[in-house]
Chains A and B, each alone.
Chain A
Amino acid sequence: MSALLEVDDLNVSMRNGSGRLVPVIEHLSFTVAPGQTLALVGESGCGKSMTALALMRLLPEDFVITSGRIVLEGRDVLALPPKEMRSLRGSAMSMIFQEPMTALNPLFTVGDQIGEVLRWHQGLDRAAARSRVIELLRAVQIPAAEQRIDAYPHQLSGGMRQRVMIAMALAGRPKLLIADEPTTALDVTVQAQIFDLLAELQRSTGTAILLITHDLGAVAELADEMLVLYAGRCIEAGASDTIVTAPRHPYTRGLLNCVPHLAIGEPPKPWVDLGEIPGMVPPLGARGADCAFLARCAQACDVCRAKPQPALESIAPDHAVSCWRKTELAA
């Protein structure tokens, strides 16, 4: 099956105060197949959100794509003129954000905002757009869609707003939906509902999802493939089941160990310190040629210190790791 989205050797840099280019994302390559879900995982400062914004060509001022290719359905996204890029956003690919409070315009009703997308991309008239909006609101399981269509964002709860955002993102029938931490700002019971909704919508519409998250465990069941980013570099990639059950890179292992997951129906355990990754992600501009995780890695040895960042190499079908000790650290 040919890929829907193909990212090849993407490099993004930031121009700092003195005009020097500082790498933000380095040599990132991945593909998303139609109807599949790929999760980008990592701590903040690892370049997850910047990757999403680069795909949409919505990078903030001072950030530039220095090299690489982004191909969506055979079209080179980076070569498109601005006008075609605008029509691509919202129709071929769309995005939902972490904070549903600020991502909606407070001055317009949700019906107006979703309808606008339909009128731009599908040329629907007002009446047709309105009935389609009601359909969409039903699809994202908003009760009493006929009434809620005339609600303003401040009249809705956080979960409802995120549903509206999803409806808006799906209005243009995108092939690819980029979801940037879509549940982080929501309550626990609402988070579960939103994840279920995304999975269900994916089944019914066949949209591919690029899911950006910091919680490896939470997305394991939703994602088919997973990409672990560290300091702007991909350090482990593969099928999400494999990565969650048999992580190979020390960072991925650390990420999995440091989250206390809820244990049900188990006898109480005494307190054991959580697995800790000491230190923090190296800030922009402090990332050298050697392995980015070196300073925090408990497994680092002389090889790691002597050589540069290792290449992302396969260790099994559909499982690649960027680590000098990948074979020794197995199991």
Chain B
Amino acid sequence: MTVIESTSQVSAPQTDLPARTAASPGRLALRQFTKSPSGVAGACMLILIILVAVAGPSLYPVDPLDLVGAPFMPPDADAWFGTDYLGRDVLAGLIHGGRATLAVGAVAALITIVIGLVIGAVGGFFGGAIDATMVKITEFFQILPPLLFAMVLVTLFGPKLTTITLAIGGVSWTSVARLTRAEFMRLRDLDFVKASRAAGASNVNLILRVLLPNALPAVIVSATLAIGVAILFEGGLSFLGLGDPNVMSWGLMLGQNRNYILDAWWAVMFPGAAIFLAVLAISLVGDGLNDAINPRLRRRS
């Protein structure tokens, strides 16, 4: 072991450090994540799907709303994935629809997390009457059947993609709020929070800089899964005829072609498979993250 030189005139006995390089908890979790085969497989799948959705439209510039041929053309050399009940190209729908579906999922999940974090953090941090109010609000949204409530919202405000996204986000934040609240209540009594308070940190400071980073790991997992849930939600709404007819999405393809499933399986099966794969990939990533972040499963070397 080498002796590390002191930078000051103080003659304190120096103790050796067990480690030389900083290992941030985030980086450790990432390293752990890469050791999970299913998590990595999910991440690869997800990256592939995102790449197709982002770059696909320029590589396959067919308008998904254009009628390119006769209706119900089975997959062949002209249209690899066939055409739907109006004669639109299914492959173009898959590629362009992926954009909308993933965007709805991501934005709705973001809304879910923001609302959930704010409600949960405020309630969990302050406790007392504020907490009781936050819990009541959460419970109010929890007892509403989410799909029905979202349907009501979409029916009221019209089937636009933004409305759909807001409706999905607005009904699914309760679990994130409960989780955040529980984490904040656990953390707020720990000594390091008291130490920060003793150092003169204000409440805003404590919430944003001390408690939130420590509560996030638990929330990240549920946020990841929220994207999958939002995609399923969009599919469900579209299936019930509440999708935005002007923007192609996987859910819309499902919803519009479901009556003809016996005549043209491809128009339903391909978007269905796309939704299935996307949600599966997100779930695998979520599970992998959970294992990586949950310290009980982490082994010390």
Q: Give A residues with C-beta under 8 Å from B.
A: 16-18, 62, 276, 278-280, 283, 295
Q: Mark B17-32, 1 if CB is under 8 A from A, else 0.
A: 0100000000000000
B residues in contact with A16, CB < 8 Å: 301
Q: How far is the CB of B261 from chain A (nearest CB, A)?
A: 50
Q: How far is the CB of B298 from chain A (nearest CB, A)?
A: 10
Q: Mark B285-301, 1 if CB is under 8 A from A, else 0.
A: 00000000000000111
B16 at the interface (CB under 8 A from A): yes
Of the residues B1, B13, B301, contact of A17 by C-beta under 8 Å: B301
Q: What would be 14 A-B contacts, judged by CB atoms less than 8 Å apart? A: A16-B301, A17-B299, A17-B300, A17-B301, A18-B301, A62-B299, A276-B13, A278-B13, A278-B15, A279-B15, A279-B16, A280-B15, A283-B18, A295-B1
Q: Which partner residue on chain B sits nearest A18 by CB separation?
A: B301
Q: How far is the CB of B300 from chain A (nearest CB, A)?
A: 8
A276 CA to B301 CA, complexed, in Å: 30
B residues in contact with A283, CB < 8 Å: 18
Q: Mark B124-144, 1 if CB is under 8 A from A, else 0.
A: 000000000000000000000
Q: How far is the CB of B6 from chain A (nearest CB, A)?
A: 15
A280 CA to B300 CA, complexed, in Å: 19
B residues in contact with A279, CB < 8 Å: 15-16
Q: How far is the CB of B177 from chain A (nearest CB, A)?
A: 29
Interface residue tally for chain B (C-beta within 8 Å): 8
Main secondary structure of the interface of B (DSSP, over half): loop
A236 CA to B87 CA, complexed, in Å: 89
Q: How far is the CB of A136 from chain B (nearest CB, A)?
A: 35
Q: Which partner residue on chain B sits nearest A62 by CB separation?
A: B299
A62 CA to B299 CA, complexed, in Å: 10
A291 CA to B256 CA, complexed, in Å: 78
B residues in contact with A18, CB < 8 Å: 301
A279 CA to B16 CA, complexed, in Å: 7
A residues in contact with B301, CB < 8 Å: 16-18
B residues in contact with A62, CB < 8 Å: 299
Within 32-62 of B, Cβ neighbours of A (below 8 Å) are at none
A residues in contact with B300, CB < 8 Å: 17
Q: Which partner residue on chain B sits nearest A22 by CB separation?
A: B301
Known: A276-B13, A283-B18. 12 other contacts (CB 8 A): A16-B301, A17-B299, A17-B300, A17-B301, A18-B301, A62-B299, A278-B13, A278-B15, A279-B15, A279-B16, A280-B15, A295-B1
A278 CA to B300 CA, complexed, in Å: 26
A residues in contact with B15, CB < 8 Å: 278-280
A residues in contact with B299, CB < 8 Å: 17, 62
A17 CA to B32 CA, complexed, in Å: 12
A283 CA to B301 CA, complexed, in Å: 11
A280 CA to B1 CA, complexed, in Å: 13
Q: Mark B215-256, 1 if CB is under 8 A from A, else 0.
A: 000000000000000000000000000000000000000000
Q: Which partner residue on chain A sits nearest B13 by CB separation?
A: A278
A54 CA to B70 CA, complexed, in Å: 76
